[in-house]
Amino acid sequence: MSETRTLEDEAVDITRDLIRIDTSNWGPDPQTVGEAEAAEYCAEQLRDVGWDPEIIVTTSDRRRGVAVRIPGSDPTAAAIVVHGHLDVVPAVASDWSHPPFSAEIDDGFIWGRGAVDMKNMDAMILAVARHWGRTGERPRRDVIVVFFPDEEAGMVHGSRWFAENRPDIFAGASEAIGEVGGFSLSVSDDLRLYPIQTAEKGIKWLRLRAAMRAGHGSMIHEDNAVTELAEAVARIGRYRWPVRRTKTVERFLDELSNAYGVDLTVSDTETVLERLGTLGMLVGATLQNTANPSMLEAGYKVNVIPTEAVAHIDGRFLPGYETEFDETIRSLVSDTVEIETVNEDIAIESPYETVTFDLMAKVLRDEDPGARAVPYMISGGTDAKALSQLGIDCYGFSPLQMPADLDYWRLFHGVDERVPVEGLKFGVRTLRRFLMAC
């Protein structure tokens, strides 16, 4: 059996092995236990071919990650970090057509929680590292392989902890690649766009609290905490944020305009999204800040006016627009409502006019002559945020060729998450090409 075939088969087999390890992240809940088992599995896969990985316990024994540095042939070159996360969001088995942790292969797909987010990339990384260990083949640059816990619940027990407590792992690294980029969007038979993530919105989760006098529900209450809070929540939820096109988004829209022959120069968000159709999911939230009310808590009995009412807001801001976000939220909330930030993280925007980005585009074309790489921004957040604070330029490059009729974005955290077997094989070949050439 050829080495190339072994590389592809291992990517498939390891993906299935990892899916079968239930690493559901329930936050601080004791149910979050699978990350430790997955870390042990990854470390064993690396040890099996001669590497010496370190298993790293972060905030508790059940929150574990893995790191190993694979030396390149040029010791003067800056290192590159290749990272993945081990955890997944929970899945309700009764909603799925295939058991979410069985990793069944059916209709050309591997089905299961984590198939695209992101155990497929974890498996590709391990398959390439194992290939190097078996064959003696070496990349030019040092490759720092890291698997983090806790990406799906805020990264406090994962990449944030690594950046704060073990920055030595990333010594000498100038760039990093991780999830949510390098997947195909079919335009025509001979053109597929491959968005590469170069930017992420920032995160600001807020708690709003209105505290006023309690009283009997039959009385007149002009100082009702529920009323004050509800009005603030409604103003935030209905606010129309102005369009702000960052450099990355502007370039992405230009590429989409050229590919689809659609004019996207208008400033009206709804018009842009209407013209993009299903691609609107990929673009909409990156054209503006967002603040979505998501939780409400108040009262304990219908005839008692409560002392306080609390709401939670999921806020996301564009790179360079955090101040605008803060000032707008304050203007929408009356002085009687307190605003508390309960979780926040930075927005990032890495350069895309670089040799590294051009190389990503080249290796994609080598595997798919119809490939066109384009930079884009995601509305969510990844472990790239923590690494960027160490001065590392971060990119989402988890190559994957998707069937033209499959909606990639609905697979993230969705029911019946799955990855195409042939697309996964495409991905591991492309990843190896990139790491050997960069």
Greater pLDDT, 276 or 333: 333
Looking at the structure of the chain, the number of domains it has is 3
Instruction: List the structure tokens of 36.
Output: 């430790």
How many angstroms separate the CA atoms of 332 and 326, rounded? 10
pLDDT band for 1, please (50, 70, 90 cuts).
very low
CATH code assigned at 308 = 3.30.70.360
How many angstroms separate the CA atoms of 316 and 331, rounded? 17
pLDDT at 87: 98
pLDDT at 308: 95
Does residue 115 have a pLDDT over 70? yes
pLDDT at 281: 72
Instruction: List the structure tokens of 240.
Output: 């129309």
In this structure, the answer to whether residues 154 and 96 fall within a common structural domain is yes
pLDDT at 2: 45
Start-end of H helices in 33-81: 34-47
- Cis-peptide, bond into residue 118, ω within 30° of zero: yes
In this structure, the answer to whether residues 279 and 298 fall within a common structural domain is no
In this structure, the answer to whether residues 94 and 183 fall within a common structural domain is yes
pLDDT at 5: 59
Of 405, 424, 397, whose CA–CA distance to 111 is shortest? 424
In this structure, the answer to whether residues 61 and 194 fall within a common structural domain is yes
Pick from 346, 376, 391: which residue ends a domain?
A: 346
pLDDT at 361: 98
How many angstroms separate the CA atoms of 419 and 114, rounded? 9
Q: How far is CA 154 from CA 33, 177, 340, 343, in A?
A: 16, 19, 17, 8
In this structure, the answer to whether residues 79 and 171 fall within a common structural domain is yes
3-state secondary structure 147-164: EECCHHHCCCCCHHHHHH
In this structure, the answer to whether residues 167 and 34 fall within a common structural domain is yes
At 389-421, the pLDDT tens digits run: 999 999 999 999 999 988 887 888 899 999 999
Pick from 309, 331, 346: which residue ends a domain?
A: 346
Instruction: List the structure tokens of 83.
Output: 């990272």
The letter for the amino acid at 133 is: G
- Which single residue is written with the structure tokens 């890495």? 350
Does residue 336 have a pLDDT over 70? yes
Average of pLDDT values for 1-25? Answer: 87
In this structure, the answer to whether residues 262 and 212 fall within a common structural domain is no
In this structure, the answer to whether residues 297 and 366 fall within a common structural domain is no
In this structure, the answer to whether residues 180 and 249 fall within a common structural domain is no
The letter for the amino acid at 327 is: E
How many angstroms separate the CA atoms of 248 and 253, rounded? 9
In this structure, the answer to whether residues 170 and 111 fall within a common structural domain is yes
In this structure, the answer to whether residues 44 and 189 fall within a common structural domain is yes
How many angstroms separate the CA atoms of 178 and 124, rounded? 11
At 48-66, the pLDDT tens digits run: 999 999 999 999 999 999 9
At 352-378, the pLDDT tens digits run: 999 999 999 999 999 999 999 999 999
CATH code assigned at 93 = 3.40.630.10
Where does 323-392 show beta strands of DSSP type E? 337-345, 348-349, 371-378
How many angstroms separate the CA atoms of 395 and 353, rounded? 12
The helix (H) or strand (E) run that includes residue 303 is none
In this structure, the answer to whether residues 128 and 258 fall within a common structural domain is no
At 209-260, the pLDDT tens digits run: 999 888 877 888 788 999 999 999 999 999 999 999 999 999 999 999 899 8
Does residue 4 have a pLDDT over 70? no
pLDDT at 408: 83
Does residue 10 have a pLDDT over 90? yes
- Residues 112-142 as b/e (b if ≥16 CB within 10 A, e otherwise) read bbbbbbbbbbbbbbbbbbbbbbeeeeebebb
Phi, psi of 74 (to 5 degrees): -115, 100
At 123-134, the pLDDT tens digits run: 999 999 999 999
- Which single residue is written with the structure tokens 């009764």? 94
pLDDT at 269: 72
Q: Which one-letter DSSP state was computed for residue 142?
A: -
pLDDT at 266: 73
pLDDT at 263: 84
Does residue 199 have a pLDDT over 70? yes
At 280-325, the pLDDT tens digits run: 777 888 999 999 999 999 999 999 889 999 999 999 999 999 999 9
Instruction: List the structure tokens of 426.
Output: 């495409």
* Domain assignment of residue 68, given as a range: 3-198+348-437
At 154-177, the pLDDT tens digits run: 899 999 999 999 999 999 999 999
